[in-house]
Amino acid sequence: MKPIRKAVFPVAGLGTRFLPATKAIPKEMLPIVDRPLIQYAVDEAREAGIEQMIFVTGRGKGAIEDHFDIAFELEKTMSERGKDLSVLEPTRLGPGNCAYVRQQEPMGLGHAIWCARDIVGDEPFAIFLPDEFMHGSPGCMKQMVDAYDRVGGGNLLSVLEVPREQVSSYGVIAPGRRDGALTEVTGLVEKPRVDEAPSNLIISGRYILQPEVMQVLAAQEKGAGGEIQLTDAMAAMIGSQPFNAVTFDGARYDCGSKAGYIQANLAIALERDDMADDVRAFALDLLK
């Protein structure tokens, strides 16, 4: 069984839901307290033993490349002033640890992943949707890699339960046998109507997939919303490849929505020794 060494981060989306904040900065650079969303996703990947980060970017996403590069002037000035540089350490991705590829047209998540096919090559890989902020210890991908080792490979999704009326915003699984946090996936449907959804277990933005998915995506078939959907490509593999889901033991914030983004900021602020007391006092006062 090959280990999971590579991760794909589709970050080409326009982020229209956060306009005007995202007019000139990528939505993945929006901070949760003082770390951008994309940094949390990369840290989660590293914790799971992943070595190479592949970013599928687009126009206007240069800030992500700058973020993971050396900032020579900044570091020089900080050193001269005797400032602590350790805060920048997680932002360093060396040439062997990252790659950038462009998705030139917004043709869907499946298409974005397919853009990374040459860099992924012939090995299983992880996918992170950075909007989905998964907060826990161990992190979501580490929990998935552990489950992947236990089940002996195949394809693995992270899932969580949502209220029925929300399922049509997501990819939904048809569950089979259950064993603790592990659920067999017998079917998948992207953004179903509420009355047609096979369950209320949604795909929450983390995947471990076998490289054959790239061959399915190569057909470029369009699905929900007229886009090339990753969910459809995965659905086509069920039956010929093992598919399982793991329910994440931790908190999930949908940072593609404004309310989820504020909740994530509040939750992280309340965990931080340097600000928890102030923020708690302020929030309680506000709610009086």
Binding mask 241-260 for ligand G1P (x = CB under 6 A): ---------------x----
The residue sitting closest to ligand G1P, measured at its beta carbon, is 171
Contact 48, 126 (CB under 8 A): yes
Q: At residue 201, what is the residue type?
A: L
Q: Which of 203, 213, 236, 255 binds ligand G1P (CB under 6 A)?
A: 203
- Closest Cα to residue 219, out of 229, 209, 206? 229
202 binds ligand G1P (CB under 6 A): yes
User: Among residues 28 and 190, whose Cβ is nearest to ligand G1P?
Assistant: 190
Q: Which of 98, 113, 116, 129 binds ligand G1P (CB under 6 A)?
A: 129
Q: Which residues, numbered 156-195, are part of the site for ligand G1P (CB under 6 A)?
A: 170-171, 190
* Options 231, 243, 244, 255; binder of ligand G1P; rule CB under 6 A: 231
Q: Which is nearer to ligand G1P, 88 or 224 (by Cβ)?
A: 224
- Taking the complex as a whole, how short is the minimal distance between the CB of residue 224 and ligand G1P, in angstroms? 8
Binding-site size, ligand G1P (CB under 6 A): 13
Give long-range contacts, CB 8 A cutoff, 24+ apart: 184-189.
184/243, 184/244, 184/245, 185/155, 185/157, 185/238, 185/243, 185/244, 185/245, 186/238, 186/243, 187/235, 187/238, 188/231, 188/232, 188/234, 188/235, 188/238, 188/243, 189/231, 189/235
The H or E element spanning position 52 is strand 52-57
Note the residues at the interface with ligand G1P (CB under 6 A). 109, 129, 132, 170-171, 190, 202-205, 230-231, 256
